[in-house]
A and B are shown apart, each in its own frame.
Chain A
Amino acid sequence: EDQVTQSPEALRLQEGESSSLNCSYTVSGLRGLFWYRQDPGKGPEFLFTLYSAGEEKEKERLKATLTKKESFLHITAPKPEDSATYLCAVQAPGTASKLTFGTGTRLQVTL
């Protein structure tokens, strides 16, 4: 069974204080690893898809990386508007293409 573990559960940063979120996964053949941002009371917002070990993608202050066992979401010089829950999900090959999500990391960025 596919499993995703995210750490830490919660993270509090000061504005400008860079850090990383971790996503460890176990899947029978990874087709893709997805990162989403979720604001309170809203649906997840797509950030990145990574397909193979060594791949990296960037968007503004966010950078996602992938190894064979885990993914990191690096946040450089965060701002208060980056406060949200960040969800990681994995997808196994096949037409039944469900995403298996972790429980997320709640990020709070303060002034």
Chain B
Amino acid sequence: EAEVAQSPRYKITEKSQAVAFWCDPISGHATLYWYRQILGQGPELLVQFQDESVVDDSQLPKDRFSAERLKGVDSTLKIQPAELGDSAMYLCASSRNYRGDYGYTFGSGTRLTVV
């Protein structure tokens, strides 16, 4: 069964350092999402891509977060500088189309701890 690949699985970083996460969606999935999930809460959307274009980044803290999907395939989410409150699970998801008719497939996530 096809999967959304994410790396690294775990990341510990010091406050004020830069950190980056990578996501490779299921082949052929045009829509890619980055969600953040704080422990005990539901995921919250950070950014949505349709191919290489950003569709929604209204909840992305743009002063410190950036995301790109240069060739419309894999994607990178960066945080610089990291803050203690950024500790969370960062989830990538993809779908065949923006409607999510077949559901959104999530990766296993990157667990970020900022110390």
Tier of interface size on chain A: 20 to 34
Residues of A within 8 A of B106 (CB): 36, 43-46
Report which of A41, A43, A96, A101 forms a contact with B107, defined as CB distance below 8 A.
A43
Question: Is B75 located at the chain interface by the 8 A CB criterion?
Answer: no
With A45-B106, A46-B104 in contact, do A97 and B48 touch (Cβ < 8 Å)? yes
Find out whether the CB atom of B91 lies under 8 angstroms from the CB atom of A49: no
Q: How far is the CB of A111 from chain B (nearest CB, A)?
A: 26
Bound-state Cα–Cα, A31 to B50, Å: 18
Bound-state Cα–Cα, A84 to B31, Å: 27
| Chain B residues in the interface with A (C-beta under 8 A) | 4, 31, 33, 40-45, 48, 50, 55-56, 91, 93, 95, 98-101, 103-109, 111
What are 10 residue pairs bridging A and B, where the CB atoms are less than 8 Å apart in the complex?
Answer: A34-B100, A36-B106, A41-B111, A43-B109, A45-B106, A95-B50, A96-B55, A97-B48, A101-B43, A103-B40
